[in-house]
Amino acid sequence: MELTAADNGRAVCLTAGGQIRLTLDGTRERPWTPVTASGGALKAANPGIAVLPGDAVAAYDAVAGGDAELGSSRPVCAQHGSPGRLSCKSVEQWTVTVTVR
């Protein structure tokens, strides 16, 4: 199963033994944080591709039945330190709930 930023907020099902891969396209000014997974249903796997600056790429194997939540975040605005430039402290959250059966 492949996920992108457009899948934010989704709940997906995965069969034990399956794999979920995701790519979040970011920029140097608005980078995604590394993807995290909660719970014991998923185990991190090698995504096997190069990552561009600002992107978050991950892969997880479904190793046990249960629920897990994948998550990442990035700034809503580019963070510039120069006076007169747009800056904000808002954060865009990305989450997907995965149920492994």
Per-residue pLDDT of the chain (101 residues; tens, 9 = 90+): 999 999 999 999 999 999 999 999 999 889 999 999 999 999 999 887 777 889 999 999 999 999 999 999 999 887 665 566 656 778 899 999 999 99
CA distances from 12 to 8, 75, 96, 101 (A): 11, 25, 7, 11
List the structure tokens of 67.
């629920």
Q: What is the pLDDT of residue 101?
A: 95
Task: Count up the domains in the chain and report the number.
Answer: 1
User: How far is the C-alpha of 39 from the C-alpha of 98, rounded, in Å?
Assistant: 10
Predicted structure pTM score: 0.85
Residue 12 amino acid letter? V
CATH number at residue 75: 2.60.40.2020
Residue 19 bridge partners (DSSP): 61
Q: What is the pLDDT of residue 29?
A: 87
User: How far is the C-alpha of 62 from the C-alpha of 96, rounded, in Å?
Assistant: 14
Q: Containing domain of residue 6, as a range?
A: 2-100
Residue 56's SS3 state is strand
Q: What is the pLDDT of residue 100?
A: 97
